[in-house]
Amino acid sequence: MNNFSGLWAKPLLIAALSLSGLITALAGDGIWDVYSWIALGIPVVLMVRYWFYPTAKTKE
């Protein structure tokens, strides 16, 4: 895996998930509302998880 994809793969995935959640919240009803809540909730859950349980720092 090269440096670009190793560094930016997860943030871009979270950004795409957030963007799709925002678009479906505005454009859809019914099941799309459920998807938008889940898609917008995942980044919040990840932030809370890494706030309370940070990953171990690697030695350089």
CB 24 within 8 A of CB 37: no
The domain ranges of the chain are 10-51
Q: What does the radius of gyration of the chain's CA atoms come to, in whole angstroms? A: 15
9-34: per-residue pLDDT in tens? Answer: 999 999 999 999 999 999 989 999 99
User: What are the residues whose beta carbons fall under 8 Å from the beta carbon of 1, sequence distance 6 or more?
Assistant: none
pTM: 0.78
Kindly indicate the confidence band of residue 55, based on its pLDDT and cuts at 50, 70 and 90: confident
